[in-house]
Amino acid sequence: MIEGLHRLLKPPVAQADPISCPGNRLASGMFWWLCASLIFAAICGILGLQQAFRFEYVVQDDARQHVFWMQRFTDPELFPHDLIADYFQSVAPYGYAAFYRVMAKVGIHPLLFHKILPMVLGLIATGYCFGLCLEILPVPPAAFVATVLLNQSLWIKFDLVSATPRAFLYPLLLAFFYYLLRRSLLPCLVTIALQGLFYPHTVLICAGVLVLRLLRWERGRPRFSPERSDYLFCLMGLGVALAAMLPFILKSSEFGPAITVAEARRLPEFRPGGRSPFFYRHFGRYWLTGRLSGMFPPAIFTHKLLFLAGALPILLAFPSRFPLLKQTTPGIKLLPQIILSSLAAFFAAHALLFRLHLPSRYTQHTLRIVMALAAGITLIAIGDALFRWAAGRSRFPQRFLALGFSVLLGVVLIAYPASLKRFPRTNYVVGKHPSLYHFISRQPKDILIASLAEEVNNLPAFSQRSVLVGREFAIPYHSGYYLQFRERVIDLIRAQYTPDRKELQHFIRKYGVDLWLLERDAFHPRYFALNKWMKQFQPEADEAQERLKRGVTPALADFAKRCSVMADKRFVVLDAGCIERSTGQ
């Protein structure tokens, strides 16, 4: 049994030609390992689909920002003159928006497509990850393990399942790395161009890798490659990268350039506990572990088995004890090149803060890919060493120990998700108030809803109607958008808790509010303790809470019964026109 298992770990092609044609690998059993990888990816996707279609009203958390406005593709009359919809449409990459538009033209609704897309992207990413690992170590079981680890890490976090632009970076980056090692120029250039259309940030990482591949480390010194083809490959790749980034760089927005560092430091949203916490005082939190600012954000370490990647450099230093690693190809140099390029982009993003968006985006995704590949190779190298050790001994306990340990590793690998509280973690939001969504969806398409309730974040997706504000849409990276948005929130807090009817009437007229969604406990002081988002808007939030504690009745409370047009156990929907007319009486 040990000998049979050990044969599976032997390279299917000769070391003299490690990067042979795919047909030879298929004949050597690679096909079945690839099928197993795709089956595992499909199972993860099916589990995600079960959550997506379990209830009538379901939407992925981030899709509430990046996909809801695409309902305009099926009905152009939706979200007219909507600040929030206009903003998210303006920041959507061209290729990403066009892809959803094409799907809408063929009859696939955007909110349906965003549930199907993650499984498709996961399968594509799996195929390229499998091929990429074979280009580094031509051992199909290593490629299988790497794809399993990658899929598990992707479905533990929400990047892939979000179906937002960053969901495309995994298949596109893996495809670029694969074609780069295969020296396939045209496909490599195509993947760079597609990254510019779907997720431009990764173009910087690809450009860095192309430059780094011109360097050779010989006799302890860096030297430039003597091959002319390397320079041609690099120059053409950089040219496409520049062309791919130009629309992103030159794109003008009605919401202005990215927010400046000085502006961001003044906003509580960027402080610890804010909507987008960025500026931490602690050096390690800011540079290393911050979710948005750190080099190693927590998202990288959610899959504990990926830590095995750290053992690969150690194993490579002892080739006599881990002889399988002698079969690694020069393609293994790609892994440190990816890391170095990602770090360069990370520091560039800090130097040009917010103009290249968030620094952590340049390390967390690529490190997840590198760690999955390295951990897969590490596990197989350890298994091979164990089998070799057992094969040289005749005693049963020693062989049983090697076999048992290897089986244990396999079981832990496949069964790891069972140790998690939830797998896959999709972060799907389930709508719990269908009567509310149904009522609002029957209102005119041009209405505007005002509310401080958390449920208002779901209305654009579930009811296809515009809202004035919502925590989910409070993205503070463009001052032209967010200063307007913040002013709306402050005005809404004042209007909802003012005892002055004239001020309430002025707010309704200023923004053209049609409906007002109130939670039944909105006028209780504890409401502010439960709604931490409002704490970012000071002094208005504290002043409103203090008035409630003193027993001051908000003017809006007087209309809760008179102007109610719909109510359930938790919410009351008020007709803003009724409130406006009544304030004059």
pLDDT number for residue 584: 58
pLDDT number for residue 298: 87
Full strand arrangement of the beta sheet holding 571-575: 466-467, 448-450, 515-519, 571-575, 564-567
CB of 460 closer than 8 Å to CB of 515: no
Instruction: Report the candidate in 498, 468, 217 with the shortest Cα–Cα distance to residue 333.
Output: 217
**DSSP structural state of residue 288:** I
Amino acid, res. 175: A
Within a 10 A sphere around the Cβ of 224, how many other Cβ atoms? 10
Strands 564-567, 221-224: pairing kind? unpaired
Alpha-carbon distance of 429 to 437, in angstroms, equals 14
pLDDT number for residue 426: 93
Distance in angstroms between the alpha carbons of the first and the last residue of the chain? 90
Query: What is the distance of C-alpha 406 from the center of its chain?
Result: 34
Strands 466-467, 448-450: pairing kind? parallel
Alpha-carbon distance of 418 to 420, in angstroms, equals 5
Between the alpha carbon of residue 44 and those of residues 33, 38, 424, 425, the distances in Å are: 17, 10, 7, 10
Instruction: Report the candidate in 120, 128, 117, 121 with the shortest Cα–Cα distance to residue 37.
Output: 128
User: For residue 262, what are the contacts with CB-CB under 8 A and spacing of at least 6?
Assistant: none
Alpha-carbon distance of 565 to 440, in angstroms, equals 11
Torsion of CA 424, 427, 432, 437, to 10 degrees: -130
CB of 177 closer than 8 Å to CB of 130: no
Instruction: Report the candidate in 539, 551, 449 with the shortest Cα–Cα distance to residue 499.
Output: 551
**DSSP structural state of residue 570:** S
pLDDT number for residue 415: 81
pLDDT number for residue 369: 96
Span(s) in the chain for CATH 3.40.50 = 432-583
Within a 10 A sphere around the Cβ of 448, how many other Cβ atoms? 19
**DSSP structural state of residue 260:** P
Burial of 561 (0-12, 13-18, 19+ CB in 10 A): exposed
Measured over the CA atoms of residue 523, residue 529, residue 532 and residue 534, the dihedral's sign is positive
Instruction: Report the candidate in 337, 407, 406, 408 with the shortest Cα–Cα distance to residue 366.
Output: 337
* Helix 30-52, helix 140-156: angle, nearest 10: 10
Burial of 200 (0-12, 13-18, 19+ CB in 10 A): buried
Alpha-carbon distance of 50 to 155, in angstroms, equals 14
pLDDT number for residue 8: 58
Alpha-carbon distance of 485 to 491, in angstroms, equals 10
One digit per residue, pLDDT tens: the chain, 585 residues? 445 555 555 565 444 333 344 444 444 578 889 999 999 999 999 999 999 999 999 999 999 999 999 999 999 999 999 999 999 999 999 999 999 999 999 999 999 999 999 999 999 999 999 999 999 999 999 999 999 999 999 999 989 999 999 999 999 999 999 999 999 999 999 999 999 999 999 999 999 999 999 988 777 777 888 888 889 899 999 999 999 888 777 776 788 888 999 999 999 999 998 889 999 999 999 999 999 999 999 888 888 889 999 999 999 999 889 999 999 999 999 999 999 999 999 999 999 999 888 999 999 999 999 999 999 999 999 888 887 777 665 565 666 666 676 777 777 788 888 788 889 999 999 999 999 999 999 999 999 999 999 999 999 999 999 999 999 999 999 999 999 999 999 999 999 999 999 999 999 999 999 999 999 999 998 888 888 888 889 899 999 999 999 999 999 998 888 899 999 989 999 999 999 887 655
**DSSP structural state of residue 281:** S
pLDDT number for residue 413: 81
Between the alpha carbon of residue 551 and those of residues 84, 520, 521, the distances in Å are: 35, 17, 14
Q: Which two tokens stand for residue 556?
A: 């809006």
In words, the CATH class of domain 432-583 is alpha beta
pLDDT number for residue 28: 54
CB of 145 closer than 8 Å to CB of 371: no
Phi-psi region of 11 (alpha: psi -120 to 50; beta: other; left: phi over 0): beta
Alpha-carbon distance of 262 to 247, in angstroms, equals 26
Q: Would you list the DSSP string of 73-98?
A: GT-TTSSTT-HHHHHHHHHS-HHHHH
Within a 10 A sphere around the Cβ of 151, how many other Cβ atoms? 27
Long-range contacts from 231-238, C-beta under 8 angstroms, 24+ separation: 233/183, 233/185, 233/188, 234/210, 236/185, 236/189, 237/188, 237/189, 237/192, 237/206, 237/207, 237/210, 238/207, 238/210, 238/211
3-state helix, strand, coil split of the chain in percent (to 5) is 65, 5, 30
Instruction: Report the candidate in 476, 434, 415, 490 with the shortest Cα–Cα distance to residue 43.
Output: 415
Alpha-carbon distance of 328 to 146, in angstroms, equals 15
HSE, side-chain direction, 13 A CA sphere, residue 511? 30
